[in-house]
Amino acid sequence: MNLQLIASYVCIILAFVPAIVFHEVAHGFMAWKLGDPTAKAMGRLSVNPLKHIDTFGTVILPLFLMVMNLPVFGYAKPVLYNPLYFKDKRKGDFFVGIAGPLANFVMAFIGALVMNLLWPLASTFFASDIGVYFYFVFLPEFILINLYLMFFNLIPIP
């Protein structure tokens, strides 16, 4: 395995972890704002990735897909919530459900904004290998992973 491939995998992992963590925190935060204390009581409103890691979905599956040179997919432990705490169960379910994809959209937008803002600084920014990997590998992966998670989570599966 060459160094360039390892650097690409590191960029993918560094893009994947915040995408799934903020996605799950957004679900829990919305449930908490709507009156459900479950996620907060379980400590799932934390941005600490260790609280959200699912051994298979966050570690084994993505690493296997990377090694097999397939599109990376994974998931975190889902944040539990109790819709009985909501004033309007139907609206509460909707808002909790949409919070994760909305968080992914916001992160993808921020990644695209950073790419756009860094372009005028290209001559100095790309003078280092880290700058090149950040701009051409990490940011595009960050944007794509967040968009993939957003669209996948918008698929209406009962």
Instruction: Write out the catalytic residue numbers.
Output: 24
Among candidate residues 56, 88, 61, 83, the one with its CA nearest the CA of residue 72: 61
Residue with tokens 């004033």: 87
Quote the tokens at residue 151.
């669209």
Question: Exposed (0-12), middle (13-18) or buried (19+): which is 117, by Cβ within 10 Å?
Answer: exposed
